[in-house]
Every structure is written in C-alpha cells, then in structure tokens.
Amino acid sequence: AKSEERNAFRFYSPIMQADARKRLQLASELRQALANDEFRLVFQPSLELRTGRIVAVEALLRWQHPKRGLVMPDSFIPMAESLGLIRRIDEWVLRAACAWIRQWDREHIAPIRVAVNVSASWFGHPAFIEGLHTALRDYQVDPKRLLLEITESAILRLGEGTHRTMYALHTMGVGVAIDDFGTGYSSLAYLKLPAVVCLKIDRTFITGIPRSPDDVAIVEAILAMSRSLKLYAIAEGIEDEAQHEFLLRAGCEEGQGYLYARPLEVPDLLRMLKSGG
Ligand code: C2E
Ligand code: CA
Ligand code: CA
Ligand code: CA
C-alpha cells in the first residue's frame, strides 16, 4: 500500500477547475464514489514525543477510483468544495471514523484519539452539530476520543456562527485542533474559543528546523504561545531525526510525520499499535 500511495495518480489537476464539462463529470463521479463505497480512510499515527507512544491517529481520505486507481485528497477535495459536495464527503469521513473507533473498542485496541478533518463549509453549516451528534450516538463514541481539525484559513472564512458552534462542541466535550497553524495570516483571537485545545504546526515550518533561524524562531514562538494558552501542540511533517530532537527539546507534545509512519491502512496501523510502536 505504501508504494501505491507514492505512485498515486494526481489526475485532477487544478486546470480542470476551468473546464465546465470535466467539472460536471467529476461531480457525478464523486456522487458515485459516495454511493458505491469508493472512499476509504487511512490513518497516520501521532506520537507523544517524550515517550514515543502512539496517542492518536489522523484519519485521511483516499478514493479508490474504479478506473483511475488511487486518487489523493489534494486532487479532489478542493474541487469537491467548489462543487458543493464536501459536506457529504466530510460527513461520510466522520461516520467512517466513528465506526472504526467503535470496532477498535470492541477488539480492545488501545483507546487512542482519532482526528478528523472538517472543511469550512460543513463546520459552518447549521446542520453540522446535529450531524456530529448523530454520528457519536449511532456508533456510541465518547466525544473525548474525537479531535476535529479545522484549518486556520477555514476559521477565518467563517463568521458569526463559529462562536456558537465552538460553544456547542465545548459543551459536547469534542475538542478542536487548529490545522496548518501559522499559514492563515489571521488574528489570534479564535485561540481563546472554548473548544480549541490543540495547535497543529504546519509542515512548512517544520521542514526548515533546525537549519533555518526563522523557522526555529516561529516554531519556538508557537510553542510558547501554545503553552501559555494551555493548548497542546502537534508538529506535522516530521521527516528526520534532527527535527524530532529539536521539537522534543523545545517541548512540543506530539509529532506526526514520515519519520514515524506514513498514513497506514488499518491492518498496518493495528500491527504497529500491537507492537507497541
Ligand atoms: P492535512 O490535513 O494537513 O494532512 C496532512 C497531509 O500531510 C497528509 O496528506 C499526509 O499524508 C501528509 N504528511 C504526513 N506526514 C508527512 C511528512 O512527513 N512529509 C510530507 N511531505 N507529508 C506528510 P494527504 O493525506 O495527501 O492529505 C492532504 C490534505 O487533504 C490534508 O492535509 C487535508 O487538508 C485534506 N484531507 C485529507 N483527508 C481529508 C478529509 O477527510 N476531509 C477533508 N475535508 N480534507 C481532507
Ligand atoms: Ca489535518
Ligand atoms: Ca495540516
Ligand atoms: Ca495541509
């Protein structure tokens, strides 16, 4: 599965955004994908840096296209958004993640946290909280097991409703991580919103440490801020030992990246969890 991921076909180039006929085709293919179970989730482990234990996984979407093979999310999620189909896809992802949590509990797998990416158009939709409620209830999932990842730029796009949604999440006990943190050029006011518990430091800053003094300064500033606000930080895209060492010493709580594990098919994830990975 690993080499398959690397060779995955990036068929849907952004250029297609302009082509109306191809857009219609993609829209109908995405609807078919939902109807025919062509989507599946892979899971990338997140490690507690101090102990090396897997404490969480991030659910990442894969599309097994009947003709084109494996399609990666970057090549269809932006267009699913502009086609108005992302809400249904996000809800499918959330429900699939909850179904896995339930199954792992039944198999007595360690109760790790599962992070799910939620786009702005679903997070900001009036039916979002209800859909989340229903998924948690249908699969009897403890809200604390879930972490919702919202990108900084998505929060920026959302208006008034954000506060209401964050309070509702806080009441339910569902935490929110600010994804791709540092890339949104936004105000920091939303870091005080009640459901926000985690900052995911964007890979573009991790790539440069410890070589680039700018990236070092930015990451250290984010970690200091995260500590004073009593949030925890996850660094994403850790690819080598030097980055790991730096982040561990700088007090970053968790890390995700190819150094530890690529996004894994479920059997591979379970093997890694059982081996104490
Ligand atoms: P993201 O949320 O920032 O997810 C992290 C991406 O970085 C994943 O790509 C992951 O495979 C990749 N990654 C992890 N570790 C490393 C590393 O060490 N080096 C490098 N170079 N890359 C690493 P993926 O799976 O292709 O997903 C891309 C993006 O698509 C995600 O970025 C997210 O924005 C979106 N996405 C994925 N699944 C979903 C989903 O279920 N719903 C929504 N709305 N968006 C999703
Ligand atoms: Ca994410
Ligand atoms: Ca991210
Ligand atoms: Ca990203």
Q: Which residue reads 């899971």 in tokens? A: 43
- What is the predicted pLDDT for the residue at 2? 46
Tell me how far the alpha carbon of residue 196 is from its chain's centroid.
Answer: 14
SS (H, E, C) 24-37: HHHHHHHHHHHHCC
The pTM of the full predicted model, rounded to 2 decimals, is: 0.93
Cα 81 to Cα 146: distance, rounded to the nearest angstrom: 23
Distance 171 CA to ligand 4 centre (A): 28
Pocket of ligand 1 from Cβ distances under 6 Å: 44, 60-61, 72-74, 77, 90, 93, 117, 119, 149, 179-180, 236-239, 256-258, 263
Mapping DSSP to helix (H, G, I), strand (E, B) and coil, where does residue 210 land?
coil
Mapping DSSP to helix (H, G, I), strand (E, B) and coil, where does residue 188 land?
coil
Atom of ligand 1 nearest to the CA of 42: 25
- What is the predicted pLDDT for the residue at 12? 54
- What is the predicted pLDDT for the residue at 1? 44
Q: Which residue reads 């709580």 in tokens? A: 253
Atom of ligand 1 nearest to the CA of 77: 45
Distance 127 CA to ligand 2 centre (A): 22
Distance 91 CA to ligand 1 centre (A): 17
Long-range Cβ contacts of 84-90 (<8 Å, 24+ apart): 84/121, 85/27, 85/30, 85/31, 86/119, 86/121, 86/122, 87/119, 87/121, 87/122, 87/125, 88/34, 89/30, 89/34, 89/39, 89/61, 90/117, 90/118, 90/119, 90/122
Atom of ligand 1 nearest to the CA of 81: 44
Sign of CA dihedral 175, 109, 265, 48: positive
Distance 21 CA to ligand 2 centre (A): 31
Cα 202 to Cα 151: distance, rounded to the nearest angstrom: 10
pLDDT tens-digit profile, the chain (277 residues): 445 565 565 555 555 555 788 888 999 999 999 999 999 999 999 999 999 999 999 999 999 999 999 999 999 999 899 899 999 999 999 999 999 999 999 999 999 999 999 999 999 999 999 999 999 999 999 999 999 999 988 888 887 788 899 999 999 999 999 999 988 766 788 888 899 999 999 999 999 999 999 999 999 999 999 999 999 999 999 999 999 999 999 999 999 999 999 999 999 999 999 987 5
Distance 108 CA to ligand 4 centre (A): 31
Q: For residue 69, how many other CB atoms are within 10 A of its CB?
A: 13
Mutate which of 34, 60, 88, 118 to test ligand 1's pocket (most atoms within 8 Å of Cβ)? 60
SS (H, E, C) 79-133: HHHHCCCHHHHHHHHHHHHHHHHHHHHHCCCCCCEEEEECCHHHHCCCCHHHHHH
Residue nearest to atom 12 of ligand 1 (CA): 237
Residues with CB under 5 A from ligand 4 (ion): 180
Atom of ligand 1 nearest to the CA of 93: 41
Atom of ligand 1 nearest to the CA of 258: 18
Contact (CB, 8 A) for 191 and 170 = no
The DSSP H or E segment spanning 233 is strand 232-236
Q: Which residue reads 């339930």 in tokens? A: 102
Q: In this structure, are strands 54-65 and 113-117 parallel, antiparallel, or unpaired?
A: parallel
Contact (CB, 8 A) for 256 and 236 = yes
- 170: its two tokens: 């806080």
For residue 73, give the ligand nearest its CA.
1
Q: For residue 208, how many other CB atoms are within 10 A of its CB?
A: 15
